[in-house]
Amino acid sequence: MQTTCDVCGKPAVYFDNRSGKGYCALHFRQMLEKKVRKELRKQGLSQNERIVMGISGGKDSLVMMDLLWRVEAPYHVELIALTVDEGIENGQYRGRRMDLIKRMAQERGIKHEVQSFRDKYGFTLDEAVQFLGGKEEPCTLCGVLRRRALNDYAKGLKATRLAIAHNLDDEAETVLMNVIRGDAKGLMRSENYAEDLYDYYVPRIKPMRTITERESAFYAYLIGVPPEEEECPYARLSLRDGVRSFLEDLEEKHPGTADSMVKFGENIKVKGKRVDRSFCSLCGYPTSKGRDICRVCEIKGMMREAEERI
């Protein structure tokens, strides 16, 4: 194992067990900034954009905020941090990170907006899980509702892009989850929204897509982001959690597994193909072909029914 920085020869503080390279703190940071720059170019980011960043308070989201700020500050790119409070009371999971987000945004001169499920839908995630938990996995409910909330608030803020802090390992998990669910369409579906959907959705970017969980964790440590004291109380119940442990184990024994999984996912995507779709009869948003109402309206409807029964 290398004990010196591959770039400058000073003592290394980080080792990449996939490439066998060592990095000092300075060159580790530069390596990640370079990855983000390259990824933003690849994803078609130009100047004069207004990027709304989805900032949950998790380490990846705070690392993304810092990296985007470093990489984009010299250009005419406006950054806004957006936190959607799902309303998870258990252990005040979200509250404790809110002060950290506020402080980090303020230090970087970034505006911070907070919105909530309660404002958007009239109910919290806790209430949704309480009423619908038997039918739906909490992470599925949260995912559907958070995705729409982030998008709609970003749209309200006139964002040209919505930045999501998924890292390489998250992307690998998503590929494997599609395989486990037998969801071939999910695997093949392109990441980007077709242009005819821009009226509904703010185009998304994933600046951290090539940054590993381990790299993100070390960068978080370097910029003084404390480890999360508690994870989301619902995470343990999810398929993603099982897939994560499995991939972590494989990555440890076979470095590069996550990279291969993401590459596989990219290779299998069908590019430029028009997807057949329907439009929701209630909210008008696009939904899967053959559906009358979208998943968000379906969940809202089930919540109304559940509330009427009490």
Interacting residues toward Zn ion by CB under 5 A: 5, 7-8, 24, 27, 280, 282-283, 294, 297
CB count, 10 Å around CB of 294?
A: 22
Structure tokens, 79: 């950054």
Of 91 and 301, which CB lies nearer to Zn ion in the complex structure? 301
Structure tokens, 176: 């494997």
Pairing of strands 14-16, 277-279: unpaired
Query: Least CB distance from residue 147 to Zn ion, whole Å?
Result: 13
Of 168 and 296, which CB lies nearer to Zn ion in the complex structure? 296
Pairing of strands 78-85, 111-116: parallel
| Residue 85: strand, helix, or coil | strand
Query: Least CB distance from residue 277 to Zn ion, whole Å?
Result: 13
Of 292 and 307, which CB lies nearer to Zn ion in the complex structure? 292
Query: Least CB distance from residue 166 to Zn ion, whole Å?
Result: 24
Structure tokens, 291: 């559906």
Structure tokens, 98: 């809110």
Query: Least CB distance from residue 64 to Zn ion, whole Å?
Result: 23
Q: Which residues contact 166 (CB under 8 A, 6 or more apart)?
A: 60, 174, 206, 208, 209
Query: Least CB distance from residue 254 to Zn ion, whole Å?
Result: 28
Give me the phi and psi of 248, to 5 degrees please. Answer: -60, -45
Query: Least CB distance from residue 201 to Zn ion, whole Å?
Result: 13
Give me the phi and psi of 302, to 5 degrees please. Answer: -65, -35
Of 237 and 306, which CB lies nearer to Zn ion in the complex structure? 306
Of 275 and 283, which CB lies nearer to Zn ion in the complex structure? 283
Of 144 and 282, which CB lies nearer to Zn ion in the complex structure? 282
